[in-house]
Chains A and B, each alone.
Chain A
Amino acid sequence: MTVNEKIAIEHGLKSDEYKKICDLLKRTPNITELGIFSAMWNEHCSYKSSRLHLKKLPTKGKKVIQGPGENAGVIDIEDGDAIVFKIESHNHPSFIEPYQGAATGVGGIMRDVFTMGARPIANLNSIHFGSPQHKKTKNLLRGVVHGIGGYGNCMGVPTIAGQTSFDSSYNGNILVNAMTLGLVKKNKIFYSKAAGLNKPVIYVGSKTGRDGIHGASMASASFDEKIEEKKPTVQVGDPFTEKLLLEACLELMAGDSIIAIQDMGAAGLTSSSIEMASKGNLGVEINLNKVPCREAKMTPYEIMLSESQERMLIVLENGKEELAKKIFDKWNLDFAIIGKTTGTKNIELFFDDKQVANIPVNTLVENSPMYDRKWKKSKLPKKNKIKKDSSNGLKIKDVLKKVLSNPNICSKEWIWRQYDHTVMGDTIQKPGGDSGVVRVHGTNKAIAASVDSSAVYCWAHPLTGGKQIVAESWRNLISVGATPIAITNCLNFGSPENEDNMGEFVECVQGIGEACEYLNFPVVSGNVSFYNQTKEVGIKPTPSIGGVGLIKDYNKMVTMNFKEINNIVMVIGKTEGHIDQSLFARSILDEKNGPPPEVNLFNEKNNGESLLNLIQKGHIKSAHDISLGGIITAVSKMAIKGNKGIKFNKSKNLINEIDYLFSEDQGRYIIEINPKDLKEVAKILDQNSVYYEELGIIIEKDMIINQKTKVTIDELKSYNSNWLTNFMSA
């Protein structure tokens, strides 16, 4: 087949990009070469629309061992230990085929982590679906949850936390973001930079099939009514093989045979071989006849673009081939020497003794397109005035019932009880809390992780929204007693070619960057997923932030369940009554305008660090951050989990009661303390100029909000726990 512009466009390239390829090569590429360019230059692999802006994110810090640019980020957790982590999207495949899409998303992110030598110790996920009324929502949710569980459970890695939301903007484009944390010794981290000439290039894992060809290109295009036709581009996962691959790789990594290792993820053999060569400033030569294939008569084009799962590419030290082969044989995995590193700085492919591709590596990587897309700045919406009257006459109990049973607030136990969250025997905080927590095996340390997003706030004002999610992630870690260390981000947006969507991206990233900088909470890894839209309409901007923190002594970990009767419940941080964009305004008042709550980074840092100080001193019996649904939602969840009630103090606050209870001002936490510690706690908070107020006292069974309003714990439970189970079984 002779390549021309039309074929290039069918590969998702633009005409000027095709022209650039011909200029760089000084000739017309053949079909295999065109396939390779299209895979490397698509949005998913090249970050061509986002690179310019991502550069502005803070990525360095005292605890950062490896920032963005590797398979995953790495942070120092002392004593020679390090945590490797990353979040990644698998949105498009999950919409087309929810089980396999979600499963391979989980498989892919785990591979990114163990490629670096780390044993995965925890999985998290952030999943977003269309409106519950939409006809596809239920099946997509069921399929995604089964897929995540199917893969993670089989791997024997606990799924310890997550986030699920419903919003009609995801009706035609759901989001599935998977995150994995792994544990590694600092001196045994593996990287993808090849080094040395004539080193053997090894292929291990599953055989290559025709599945997933052009998966990365699909992820870089928007959806239309023909999307079902793309089913064959969805990869099929085999967690059993991945478990074997994990064990085999870790066994090989215990020695000193590996120079570089890279998993075959998006764009398979193409991107893995090119990335290793590019980082090492080398060339690579591959004989495609040596690649283990699952199907007969696969062409070089197909072999290079297949996204078959559970495969790895390794550059070995010379003379270690036999030793390595033995290990992979033991685990019944394919092992093939398919090529070698060279000094040509080209990628050279051979098939049936003929050269079928010869491309300078730098044209694929450094010379890949980079765009400064046009974008529109968002104005901060004006404060909404309507609500003042509309909340008159509402009964707190009725509102509370609706809020606690709202799909975005209700208990997600139906989801997480399908995930094995206790395997590995170190899960000390299960899903359903502020963060999941796992112990560092055999030590007193524990790692806390949470994943957050606030699409509504980002949609209302991207800059504020971006800051808010980072702040929320920070609070979720603090609430369990962890010192926040770093984040990973998964940036899910509409088309970068649309000025509004691009503006949302640019300003969310700016907000994330500002908050990370201020909180000393750097970004160490992440991914960008554009084109999350159906036809012309983009999703609400949905950056997901995965935060990771360290608890030095896990005996000091804090949970959110109320502990003891007569203990004092306090609110840390000031309640101003910000109702715009709150769940209350949107779902009860049906009011969608107005700005999101303001994020004051000074208060976030000060309140958070002061709380952490109190936790470390042992004064905090339970804690929970205040987010969606306000004070009363936070308190209700603490009461439900602790099976204890609370009697609210008479409000001294000047704002009206509903606003006080349901507003979503930032930088706030609910804490429980023993009355004997009150003086000391107040002193510390005063010294640090942290605003606080006493909210009430823990009592046996009821939540007594005011003289007229009493709700029993059983009522709270029934509001909160049934919606999702009923929805899924209806």
Chain B
Amino acid sequence: MKSSVITFPGSNCDRDIDVALNKFGFKNKMVWHNDHELPKSDLVVLPGGFSYGDYLRCGSMASKSKIMHSVINFAKSGGLLMGICNGFQILVETGLLPGVLLRNKYLEFICKNVYVKVDNKENLYFKNLDKEVFEFHIAHNEGNYFCTKDQLKEIEDNNQVALYYCNDEGKTEDQFNPNGSIKNIAGIFNKEKNVLGMMPHPERMIDQSLSGEDGSLFFKNLINNLK
């Protein structure tokens, strides 16, 4: 399986996701934002970080990078495109995903483990996972997902919510919402479910010495689904 990770100026989780993808069997290539062409890929990842220093709005300048033209075409023709953290912010700025990511409710950067519930397994990302609640790690300042009522209805009608913040039992109550996201949303799909944006970082949970190993479950399952 071939994957590509785009490096923008200011990306800083690009190495981390590269390590994770290679660890679980992807042949990963790093792609510079100023390149025109995307290498042949089964999966493209927009990594976390502070692309363009978060200037203007998080993700907005990266969404206009040269490479994004190819990335958007790749997604529109059905390719798997995943954005993590800043990558999620870039995806909403491209319009591939609905909504926006606002500053966290308490106006503070949050770095900690959270539980998230997988809501929809009818997609290549989560198909065949044998549990629903995962412990992932978040580290962001602008992860407060927001959209209009109409958009929310559409998202829910189309089963586009990928992840909800919850507790270890999968309860999605307000008290388990770390950043004020509408309906505890931690990640969403596009209608076709080939584009996934999420705030949590599965790549930081890939061995037992780190914050946990639920990220390993995610990546192992993902590559199996693509085989």
Q: Which residues of A contact B (CB under 8 A)?
A: 146, 149-150, 153-156, 238-241, 243-244, 330-332, 416-425, 427-428, 430, 439, 554-555
User: In chain B, residues 104-128, which have Cβ atoms closer than 8 Å to a Cβ of chain A?
Assistant: 108-112
Given A243-B12, A428-B209, are A418 and B19 also a contact pair (CB < 8 Å)? no
Picked from B9, B20, B109, B139, the residue with its CB within 8 Å of the CB of A422 is: B139
Instruction: Tell which of B46-54, B180-188, B218-226 binds the partner.
Output: B46-54
Point out the residues of chain A lying under 8 angstroms from B15, CB to CB. 424-425
Minimal Cβ-Cβ distance residue in B for A424: B16
B210 touches A243 (CB 8 A): no
> How many angstroms from the CA of A428 to the CA of B206 in the assembled complex?
12
Q: Is the CB of B108 within 8 A of A418?
A: yes
Q: Is B95 an interface residue (CB 8 A)?
A: no
A154-B10, A240-B55 given; A428·B109 CB < 8 A: no
Q: Please name 17 pairs of A and B residues whose Cβ atoms are closer than 8 Å in the assembled complex, sorted by A.
A: A146-B109, A153-B50, A155-B12, A156-B49, A156-B50, A241-B53, A243-B9, A419-B111, A420-B111, A423-B204, A424-B15, A424-B16, A428-B209, A430-B211, A439-B209, A554-B209, A555-B209
- Given A156-B12, A243-B50, A244-B10, residue A417 in contact with residue B206 (CB < 8 A): no
List of B residues within 8 angstroms of A332 by Cβ: 9
Do residues A153 and B109 form an inter-chain contact, with CB atoms below 8 A?
A: yes
Within 8 A of A (CB), among B28-84: 34, 48-50, 52-55
Q: Is the CB of A239 within 8 A of B50?
A: yes
**Contact: A156 with B111, CB < 8 Å?**
no
Per-position contact with A for B197-209: 1 when CB-CB < 8 Å, else 0? 0000101101001
- Residue on B nearest A142 in the bound complex, by CB: B108
User: Quick one: given A417-B112, A439-B209, are A423 and B10 in contact (CB under 8 Å)?
Assistant: no
Taking a contact as CB atoms under 8 Å apart, the answer to whether A418 and B109 are in contact is yes
Is there contact, CB below 8 Å, between B50 and A425? no
Give complex CA distance A428, B110 in Å: 18
Indicate which residue in A154, A241, A330 contacts B54 across the interface (CB closer than 8 Å): A154
Point out the residue from B48, B53, B201, B210 that lies within 8 Å of A427, measured CB to CB.
Answer: B210
Q: B116-152 interface mask toward A, CB cutoff 8 Å, 1 = contact, 0 = none?
A: 0000000000000000000001010100000000000
Known A153-B109, A331-B9; further 7 A-B contacts with Cβ < 8 A: A244-B10, A418-B111, A420-B109, A420-B139, A421-B111, A425-B19, A439-B209
- Interface assignment of B13: CB less than 8 Å from any CB of chain A: yes
CB contacts (< 8 Å) of B201 on chain A: these are: 422
Question: How far apart are the CA atoms of A478 and B110 in the complex, in Å?
Answer: 30
Minimum CB–CB distance from B144 to chain A (whole Å) comes to: 15
Which B residues fall within an 8 A CB radius of A?
9-10, 12-13, 15-16, 19-20, 34, 48-50, 52-55, 108-112, 137, 139, 141, 201, 203-204, 206, 209-211
Are B12 and A422 closer than 8 Å at their CB atoms?
no
Residues in chain A near residue B34, CB distance under 8 A: 330
Which of A241, A421, A425 has most B Cβ within 10 Å? A425
Q: In the bound complex, how far is the Cα of B49 from the Cα of A150, in angstroms?
A: 12
Our pick among B10, B53, B110, B206 for the contact of A425 (Cβ within 8 Å) is B206
Chain A residues near B48 (CB-CB < 8 A): 423
CB <8 Å contact, A156 and B13: yes
Chain B contacts of A146 at CB under 8 A?
Answer: 108-109
- Closest partner residue, chain A, to B201 (CB atom): A422
Choose from B19, B53, B141 the contact partner of A238 (Cβ within 8 Å): B53
User: In the complex, what residues of A have CB within 8 A of residue B203's CB?
Assistant: 425
Measured in the bound complex, the distance between the Cα atoms of B19 and A425 in whole Å is 9
CB distance from A706 to the nearest CB of B (A): 35
Contact (Cβ within 8 A) B9 A418: no
A416 to B111, CA, bound (A): 8
Q: A240 vs B9: C-alpha distance in the bound complex, in angstroms?
A: 8
Instruction: Pick the 8 closest A-B CB pairs, nearest first.
Output: A156-B12, A240-B53, A425-B16, A154-B50, A428-B209, A420-B139, A418-B109, A422-B204
What's the nearest-Cβ distance from chain A to residue B6, in Å?
15
Contact (Cβ within 8 A) A423 B53: no
CB-defined contacts of B206 to chain A, threshold 8 Å: 425
Q: B54 to A244, Cβ gap below 8 A?
A: no
Q: With contacts A156-B49, A439-B209 known, is A418 near B204, CB below 8 A?
A: no
B26 to chain A, nearest CB (A): 16
Residues of chain B with a CB closer than 8 A to A153's CB: 50, 109, 139, 141
The reply to whether B12 and A423 form a contact with Cβ atoms under 8 Å apart is: yes
Determine whether the beta carbon of A423 is less than 8 Å from that of B9. no
Given A154-B50, A418-B108, A425-B203, A244:B9 Cβ within 8 A: yes
Listed residue (B203, B209, B210) with the most chain A CB atoms within 10 angstroms of its CB = B209
Q: Which residue of B lies closest to A155 (CB)?
A: B12
Give CA–CA (A476, B119) in the complex, Å: 44
A419 to B140, CA, bound (A): 10
- C-alpha spacing A590/B50, complex, angstroms: 48
CA gap between A419 and B110 in the complex, in Å: 7
Question: Are A423 and B50 also in contact (CB < 8 A) when A149-B109, A418-B111, A428-B210 are?
Answer: no
Considering the chains assembled together, what is the distance between the CA atoms of A244 and B12 in angstroms?
Answer: 11
Instruction: Chain B residues near A154: list those with CB within 8 A.
Output: 10, 12, 50, 53-54
Give chain B nearest CB distance to A583 CB in angstroms.
28
- Is the beta-carbon distance between B111 and A422 smaller than 8 angstroms? yes
With most chain B CB atoms within 10 A of its CB, the pick from A146, A421, A422, A424 is: A422
Q: Which of A154, A423, A424, A439 has the most CB of B within 10 A?
A: A423
B31 → A minimal CB distance (Å): 14
Contacts A154-B53, A425-B19 given: A240-B109 contact, CB under 8 Å?
no
A526 to B49, CA, bound (A): 30
State the CA gap A371–B52 with chains docked (Å).
Answer: 47
What is the CB-to-nearest-CB distance from A43 to chain B, in angstroms, rounded to a whole number?
34
- Tell me, in angstroms, the Cα distance from A421 to B54 when the chains sit together: 19
Q: What residues on A are CB-neighbors of B139 within 8 Å? A: 153, 420, 422-423
A238 to B15, CA, bound (A): 22
User: Inside 8 A of A149's CB, which chain B residues have their CB?
Assistant: 109
In the docked arrangement, what's the CA distance between A238 and B110, Å?
Answer: 21
Chain A residue at minimal CB-CB distance from B19? A425
Shortest distance between the CB of B83 and any CB in chain A (Å): 17
By a CB distance below 8 angstroms, the chain B residues around A155 are 12
Q: When chains A and B are docked, how far (Å) is the Cα of A422 from the Cα of B112?
A: 9
Query: In the complex, how many angstroms separate the beta carbon of B143 from the nearest chain A beta carbon?
Result: 13
**Whole-angstrom distance between the Cβ of A377 and the nearest chain B Cβ:** 46
Residues of B with C-beta under 8 A to A418: 108-111
A427 contacts across to B, CB distance below 8 A: 210
Chain A nearest Cβ from B167, distance in angstroms: 16
Contact B108 A425 (CB under 8 A): no
CB distance from B208 to the nearest CB of A (A): 10
CA distance A156 to B51 in the complex (A): 11
Residue pair A240, B108 in contact (C-beta under 8 Å): no
* Known A-B contacts A425-B16, A428-B210; A240 and B52 likewise in contact (beta carbons under 8 Å): yes
Closest chain B CB from A432 CB (angstroms): 12
A150 and B54 alpha carbons, distance in the complex (Å) = 11
